[in-house]
Amino acid sequence: MDNVGAALYVNEAVKKFNTYAGINQNYAWGQDAWNDFEGTLKSLRPEVTLTTSQMPKLGAGQYNTEISAILGSKPDIIHSSFWGGDLEGLVLQGAPRDLFKSATVVLPAGETAIHRQAKQIPDGTIIGARGPNGRCHGNVL
């Protein structure tokens, strides 16, 4: 549901794009998240082209090879289902190389990184949240 929703949002929010790429963990969540996002995106915009799909091992920690492959493929959209430490590693390694500035980045489980790494994730990144999220009533800090 998260990744179908992300593809629907991208379809509405990003008017012009021709290519997309993904970096997702090579286990059930990462594979399913990517398949849901890509399948939905392809059904909405069959003309768009996949440039690369990277599937590093869960908890790999080092993503420079995958970041290089993505940057080299020059996608307009980058999808990642990374969360927790994997996402923090991707942000720490990708931000200095302008991964998040080279394309519209979609992080359906991105709320796990914004508390500690908000300054490294540029405006325009599409971030989803899991769990009991919604309208906040009361004061927000």
Predicted confidence at residue 32, as pLDDT, reads 97
- The residues, ordered by sequence, that sit 6+ positions from 93 with a Cβ below 8 Å of its Cβ are 62, 63, 64, 67
- The residues, ordered by sequence, that sit 6+ positions from 141 with a Cβ below 8 Å of its Cβ are none
Read off the pLDDT of residues 5-43 as tens digits, 9 standing for 90 and up: 999 999 999 999 999 999 999 999 999 999 999 999 999
Predicted confidence at residue 131, as pLDDT, reads 63
pLDDT of 104 over the 90 cut: yes
pLDDT of 76 over the 90 cut: yes
Residues 91, 93: Cα–Cα separation, whole Å = 5
